Chain A
């Protein structure tokens, strides 16, 4: 029995990185959550995983982006390619894709433009909201600062299905301020308090915020 428990524990521990990244199946996610609720040591190790996840994202975000040379080179090569024949797809997925693919390029272009406008609109709404609640944030008696560069921060990637309205309500309900972003990867730097909170307190706030369906990823940052 002991061995079985140990094996199950180890199996659960191996899943922690995927739990933190939100890529587990519902069944596995529930198993991990159940184990985390019962086992404080596992919960401590999960906190380490979340640190790794946050820093891996930051590390990758510092890698920059390729220059326009890559795109120019690609399309020069594509232009030099012989005209391709439409592929005959046999599977259902491809046929369904084919149906959608029958939409005109102009429709596609409009969809892409609309998406870009939606993102800009969302960014605009968030900015308006941030301006409106410049005095927000968790405030303590010890000299709160209005300098957006001072305080306690997290990085947040909002869930893809979250609307700008959801995000606005989430920010308001939790008295959060967006300090920067979106960076590549859709990451925002969000101020949760106007003062530098103790790590434990910040961790508690992050833990609470991560349960909100609007949040896709959240980690502490400086």
Chain B
């Protein structure tokens, strides 16, 4: 049996169906939360923001025209909310738990590689990318968004999406090299 599509849920939400809202929330809130968390880097702020994102979905469902996937539309709203929140708090406020997860890189490269496996170093370097680069890497790899969808969410041309992803990956290689891992690219 097939599950109700997101588009059908949105149509029902537009008619004020609270149950449809619960189903949509259950289906997407974790991914939306993680997307926002990677941008704002504060768990409490991210939780507040996802309530706002889904409240906007509730209010705007009648205006959804189906020109993009519902998940893409929600990520666009989430991105707007996250950037607005960051503008309100220009000094990015890292909560303590999040700060503890950002690992200390005081070791020299050889020691770093010796201490951890390559995969762990790669994840650490992914965390160190700029917000712009983190965002595009997450959208492509984790949220499985196409070039066109990323362009829609971020509000940049498709050619820029490809270029930005390329430079994000290049930066990742540089960070890895600094940690003693030479991938032989670029």
How far in angstroms is the closest Cβ of chain B from A99?
9
Q: Which residues of A contact B144 (CB under 8 A)?
A: 21-23
Main secondary structure of the interface of A (DSSP, over half): helix
Contact B63 A87 (CB under 8 A): yes
Q: Which residues of B contact A112 (CB under 8 A)?
A: 3-4, 23
> Which of A52-60, A139-147, A164-172, A190-198 forms part of the interface with chain B?
A52-60
A residues bordering B, Cβ < 8 Å? 13-15, 17-18, 20-24, 44-45, 48-49, 51-60, 63-67, 69-71, 73-75, 77-78, 81, 83-84, 86-89, 91, 93-94, 97-98, 100-101, 105, 108-109, 111-112, 114-115, 118, 184-185, 221-222
Which 8 residue pairs across A and B have the least CB separation, nearest first? A87-B62, A97-B11, A101-B11, A93-B66, A56-B141, A115-B3, A87-B14, A23-B146
Which residue of the partner chain, among B25, B59, B122, B185, contacts A45 with CB atoms under 8 Å? B185
Q: Which residues of B contact A23 (CB under 8 A)?
A: 140, 144-147, 149
How far in angstroms is the closest Cβ of chain A from B126?
5
Q: Which residues of A contact B3 (CB under 8 A)?
A: 111-112, 115
How far in angstroms is the closest Cβ of chain B from A86?
5
Name the residue on B nearest A15 (C-beta). Answer: B162
Q: Which residues of B contact A78 (CB under 8 A)?
A: 18, 21, 55, 58
- Determine the distance from Cα of A55 to Cα of B116 in the docked complex, in whole angstroms: 14
A-B contact count (CB 8 A): 177
B residues bordering A, Cβ < 8 Å? 1-5, 7-8, 10-12, 14-23, 25, 29-31, 33-34, 37-38, 43, 46-48, 50-51, 54-55, 58-59, 61-66, 117, 119, 122-123, 126-127, 137-138, 140-142, 144-147, 149, 162-163, 165-166, 169, 172, 183-185
Knowing A56-B137, A74-B25 are in contact, say whether A89-B62 is a contact too (CB < 8 A). Answer: yes
18 A-B pairs besides A74-B51, A97-B10 with CB distance below 8 A are: A17-B165, A23-B145, A23-B147, A52-B169, A55-B122, A55-B123, A57-B142, A58-B119, A60-B142, A66-B43, A75-B21, A77-B55, A89-B14, A93-B7, A93-B65, A94-B66, A105-B19, A185-B31
- Determine the distance from Cα of A52 to Cα of B146 in the docked complex, in whole angstroms: 17
Knowing A52-B122, A108-B17 are in contact, say whether A17-B169 is a contact too (CB < 8 A). Answer: yes
Knowing A17-B169, A87-B61, A98-B11 are in contact, say whether A108-B4 is a contact too (CB < 8 A). Answer: yes
Contact A108 B23 (CB under 8 A): yes
- Determine the distance from Cα of A168 to Cα of B10 in the docked complex, in whole angstroms: 34
